[in-house]
Amino acid sequence: MPPDGSDAAGRTVPRWIEPGGPDLRLEAHFGDRVVACFAERPASLHALLADAATRHPLGEAIVCEATRLTYADLAAAVDRLSAALAAEGVRPSDRVAMLIGNRTEFVTVLFAVTRLGAIAVPMGLRLQTPEIAHVLADCGASLLIHEADLVDRLPQPVDIPALARRWTVGGSAAGTDGFDAILARHAAAPVPPVVPVEEEDTAVILYTSGTTGRPKGAMLTHLGLVHSSLVYEHCMGLTKADRSLAAVPLSHVTGLVANVTCTVRAAATLVIMPAFRAGDFLVLAARERMTQSVLVPAMYNLCLLQPDFASHDLSAWRIGGYGGAPMPTPTIERLADHCPGLMLMNAYGATETTSPTTIMPPRFTPTHGHSVGIAAPGVDIVVVDDRGREVPPGAVGEIWIRGPHVVRGYWNNPAATQAGFTAGFWHSGDIGSIDADGFVQVLDRKKDMINRGGYKIFTAEVETILIACPGVVECAVVAVPCPVLGERVHAFVVTDGSDPPAETLRAWCAARLSDYKVPETMTIQAEPLPRNANGKVMKRVLREGLPPAGTA
């Protein structure tokens, strides 16, 4: 829980680092960047694991279905796998692609690859053949470790000539080597020494969602991953007693950092759920005494919709992180009723920021639902106009972000790196503001803002109102072309089965929004909204299915 400080005007301003807390110091990194870093920190991803295994060797590290590993077990499994990888020819700086779901092997592969000074390239299981081919070719992967049942989705070897080896997990497939067979083949191989790395070296490449073009490979460094893990540990107060339930994909930056690496940093327990289903989540959370998780708001809503929600013992749940969408006030209130010990914390970040950029102090969650929180330790956030000039508090502009967690750039794409960064500040493409007390509000993506006859409409604002309407599970607001006004407002609304009519939804919005912001047309459906491999709503797909205004 952060203390409050005072600014030059005497206002009470929340902050994350308290007197006597962890020290931050300015350091020069990545050439021209000067950023605030935790003064005391592990030097690499491997150091995170080694430290946890030393401090808490018999503590439970991973729970995944029938598997339970202590930190000593996990460290030994990573050592054995690194020996097999080295024996198979993996060398420092090699890229190892991971088409692996939520399972124990995701964690062991991640730490074994980076132990060798190589680079892990996780991929989401929703990727299709052309997308997989792009990632493999762009990063120049020499090894692909993939789920056995995805073999038919892989590109042909002739299309990816640099990919020398393919391994399977969770079964076998023709033309590949089985994970367990590889480990058995090299059971007697000596464990190689830990390859020393620099903090600024790339540890992981994560490909952006590619909603507006070809995905770009964001280069996450050891420094960024360690720093972000320390941010979660400090802001959420994580200790070895915590039990984090991973229900989002581990291949996404949220699962990778908010579950895997921050849990290892705290020497806590990572409970891995292969795929999210609300009923199964509640059973697992109660059985394993979950204390922390990070979900999207729709997941919380789906849990609350379970008829037996109140029968599950969730008394151990103390931290509920969320992001990617606003949390409806009714959801916050219902969670407070059922789980009085649960602290909800909004978090805002991106692949390019190695996850957390802002985190909401939980005591402000009920009163600051419009905000994504305050800057996390070591993070600089500014809001600028189209000419790159900082705007006054409360004014709207593009959010720029700087800190040790910001990636060094995009793999094999210097043009995108040059266009996306200025003196260490990453241009987020998000439109938002920062008020006088430091609370950050994200209003829209630059590309999603609607211009209705000269009136600018931020889709996130309309979505925040719609999602709070009873019966709404999730929603997305998009522009529909109009020959008169340029664009009009259309809403896609997913309901819980109660099916409120469009007139009811529009009346709800009209009572809370300016008239020009109220959706003029709606699509009401029971099917979930289309999402890409990183879980983001694909508004481009939604827009493409709409006729121009006045033609439907």
Q: For position 534, which CATH number holds? A: 3.30.300.30
Query: Is 270 contained in some domain?
Result: no
The predicted model scores a pTM of: 0.87
Instruction: Identify the pLDDT of residue 461.
Output: 84
Q: Are 264 and 55 in contact (CB under 8 A)?
A: no
pLDDT along the chain (552 residues), means of 10: 52 68 92 94 98 98 97 98 97 98 98 98 91 95 96 92 93 85 95 97 89 81 98 97 97 96 98 96 98 91 92 97 81 91 95 95 90 95 95 95 97 94 94 94 84 83 90 92 87 90 94 91 92 75 80 48
- Only one residue has tokens 């987020």, namely 428
Query: Is 467 contained in some domain?
Result: yes
Phi, psi of 503 (to 5 degrees): -65, -40
Query: Is 509 contained in some domain?
Result: yes
C-alpha dist (Å) from residue 35 to 26, 187, 380: 5, 44, 8
Query: Is 177 contained in some domain?
Result: yes
Query: Is 5 contained in some domain?
Result: no
The structure tokens listed for 505 are 């939804």
Query: 501-510: which pairs have CB atoms within 8 A and are 24 or more residues apart?
Result: 504/469, 505/466, 505/469, 505/472, 508/465, 508/466, 508/469, 509/462, 509/465, 509/466, 509/469
Q: Which residues, in sequence order, are CB contacts of 200 under 8 Å at separation 6+?
A: 29, 30, 221, 222, 223, 408
Query: Is 63 contained in some domain?
Result: no
| Torsion 248-249-253-259 (CA) sign | positive
Q: Which of 196, 228, 250 is the last residue of a domain?
A: 196
Q: Which of 148, 170, 196 is the last residue of a domain?
A: 196
Domains contained in the chain, number: 2
**How far is it, in rounded angstroms, from Cα 399 to Cα 70?**
42
Instruction: Identify the pLDDT of residue 13.
Output: 57
Query: Is 466 contained in some domain?
Result: yes
Query: Is 133 contained in some domain?
Result: yes
Q: Are 464 and 370 in contact (CB under 8 A)?
A: yes
User: What are the residue ranges of helices labelled H in 140-267?
Assistant: 179-185, 222-236, 253, 262-265
Position 293: which residue type? S
User: What are the residue ranges of helices labelled H in 403-512?
Assistant: 414-420, 459-467, 502-510
| Torsion 164-94-190-75 (CA) sign | negative
The structure tokens listed for 552 are 């439907």
Instruction: Identify the pLDDT of residue 9.
Output: 47
CATH code of 92's domain: 3.40.50.980
Q: Are 246 and 102 in contact (CB under 8 A)?
A: yes
Instruction: Identify the pLDDT of residue 210.
Output: 53
Q: Which of 196, 218, 250 is the last residue of a domain?
A: 196
Which domain does 104 fall in, by range? 69-196
Q: Are 477 and 519 in contact (CB under 8 A)?
A: yes
Element (H, E) at 489: strand 486-495
